[in-house]
Amino acid sequence: MKKAFTILLSLAVGCALGLVIVMLGKSSGSTSGDAVNPVVDVVALFVAVALAAYLQIILHEAGHLVCGLLSGYHFVSFRVGSLTLLNDGNGKLRFKHFKIAGTGGQCLMSPPDVPIDKLPTGLYNAGGSLMNLLCATVALLLIIYCDNMHFFVKYFLSATVAVGYVFALLNGIPMKLGGMANDGHNMLYLRRDKQSVKGFYSQLVINEKQQNGTRLSQMPEELFNLDGDINFSDPMQANVELMRCSRVLDQGDIEQAYRLLNELNDSHLHELMTLYQLEAQSELLYACLASGHINQAKSLLNDQLERYITKYASVMTCKQRTLMAKALILDGDRAEAERLYNDVVARRDSYLMPGEVKSDIELMKHLLEAQNNDQNQVKSTN
């Protein structure tokens, strides 16, 4: 799967390297801080670009945070790479690890207490690109107006200019990169589609509640219901539908969850971006295994899906749940299934979403007990 972040970062780094190389060619040895060793120049160049790229990721998410706060939103979590700073709901900040394919970072906030049709979305979504533009422009002004600059500072500021402008353009101009909608694309949907605004609102509220320990089944049903037909090509609407299916699973209605996920897989899978395709298939795989549709489960489980599930099992308990069901039902390995269950229970406080953890522990426990009861029933019949 081609990741949007990889594409964006490659372009930004390429531009930064090009700009710094030009400056390197123009640099004179007259400034006391200039490098005189070509090897030192090259090493400094790459270090400067790497630092500038990492800094611009942080600045981009900080832009969302600042503009969100200015728009009345409340802080929930701030992620760079896999390191996530979050508000645990009790007024305390904690660090955890979590990562999503296609993203180098993410700032999530809870919406202000206003009617959904009055929800401010523009500044919050534009904040990342605006911060990249601002910082790149400041760096450019420093290059222009500051004399006798150390060669490494010059390279770093030059890389900051290039990376910042590229990040701003690739996030601000509406497009999908590797199937992942950028900020500009989301802003476009939020301006013209009321359902997208509802989806955006629901995602933020559901995320905050799960992070504070609330299960999907305990949340108001209206959060999961969109008005009218769903545009599955819009990630904000599609994600709410996926969470609705997961909510039905959490309610214990495995057959209904299977029907919903199977219909989604049959009718709308091609409309979803790649990440959501794999997420939908992962949940369908679990529903198939838990409801006895074994042959369909076998047909679903290809190498791509298994890699996806395994990759995220360390940070998402729903993937541990699916691996447990596979071990128990497909592989007949109850010892491995119990090991996976016990691992989730032992590490329950380390995951990002306590509400999701509570749900998955219950589902795993129920499946283990159900399979054990079935085996005991067979033994008593014999």
Summarize the confidence of residues 306-327 as an average pLDDT.
Answer: 94
Q: Are residues 133 and 257 in the same domain?
A: no
Q: Are residues 17 and 130 in the same domain?
A: yes
Same domain, 276 and 181: no
Q: For residue 122, which of 55, 164, 71 has the smallest C-alpha distance?
A: 71
Q: Is residue 160 part of a domain?
A: yes
- What pLDDT, on the 0 to 100 scale, is given for residue 227? 79
Choosing from 132, 157, 187, the residue where a domain stops is 187
Please tell me whether residue 108 adopts helix, strand or coil conformation. strand
Concatenated DSSP letters for 293-339? -HHHHHHH--HHHHHHHHHHTTT-HHHHHHHHHIIIIIS--HHHHHH
In-domain check, residue 217: no
Query: What are the residues facing 74 on neighbouring strands?
Result: 110
- Candidate from 14-23, 168-177, 315-324 with smallest mean pLDDT: 14-23
- Residues composing the chain: 382
Task: With respect to residue 210, please indicate whether it lies within any of the assigned structural domains.
Answer: no
Contact 196, 190 (CB under 8 A): yes
Which residues touch 134 (CB under 8 Å, ≥6 apart)? 63
Q: Which domain holds residue 27?
A: 4-187
pLDDT value at residue 375: 61
Question: Per the domain annotation, does 225 fall within a domain?
Answer: no
The Cα–Cα gap between 28 and 275 comes to 49
Q: Is residue 192 part of a domain?
A: no
User: Does 128 lie in the same domain as 239?
Assistant: no
pLDDT of residue 42: 77
**Are residues 37 and 177 located together in one domain of the fold?**
yes
128 lies in the same domain as 243: no
CB 340 within 8 A of CB 286: no
pLDDT for 378 equals: 47
- Whether 171 and 281 map to the same domain: the answer is no
Last residue of a domain, one of 187, 217, 248: 187
Mean of all residue pLDDT scores within the chain: 86
Helix/strand/coil for 181: strand
Candidate from 26-30, 40-44, 86-90, 148-152 with smallest mean pLDDT: 26-30
What is the average per-residue pLDDT within 86-90?
79
| Number of domains forming the structure of the chain | 2
Alpha-carbon span 288 to 296, nearest angstrom:
7
For the CA atoms of 63, 64, 67, 70, the dihedral, rounded to the nearest 10 degrees, stands at -130
How far apart are alpha carbons 109 and 63 in whole angstroms?
Answer: 12
Domain check: are 260 and 344 in the same one? Answer: yes
Buried b (16+ CB within 10 A) or exposed e, 128-148: bbbbbbebbeebbeebeeeee
**Which band of pLDDT confidence, cut at 50, 70 and 90, is reported for residue 62?**
very high
Return the H-helix or E-strand segment holding 105. strand 105-110
Judge if 23 and 121 occupy the same domain. yes
Residue 82 lies in a domain: yes
pLDDT at 99: 65
170 and 266 assigned to the same domain: no
Is 163 within a domain?
yes
pLDDT at residue 191, rounded to an integer? 84
Proportion of the chain above pLDDT 70, given as a percent: 85
Q: What is the pLDDT of residue 175?
A: 82
Tokens matching residue 146: 């500051």
Q: Are residues 136 and 281 in the same domain?
A: no
Tell me how far apart the alpha carbons of residues 360 and 318 are, in angstroms, rounded to a whole number.
Answer: 6
pLDDT at 127 > cutoff 80: yes
Residues 60 and 174 in one domain: yes
Kindly state whether residue 221 falls inside one of the protein's structural domains. no
At 206 the pLDDT is 96
pLDDT at 90 over 80: no
- Asked whether residue 34 carries a pLDDT value surpassing 60, the answer given is no
Report the first-to-last Cα separation within the chain, whole angstroms. Answer: 49
* Of 83 and 7, more confident: 83
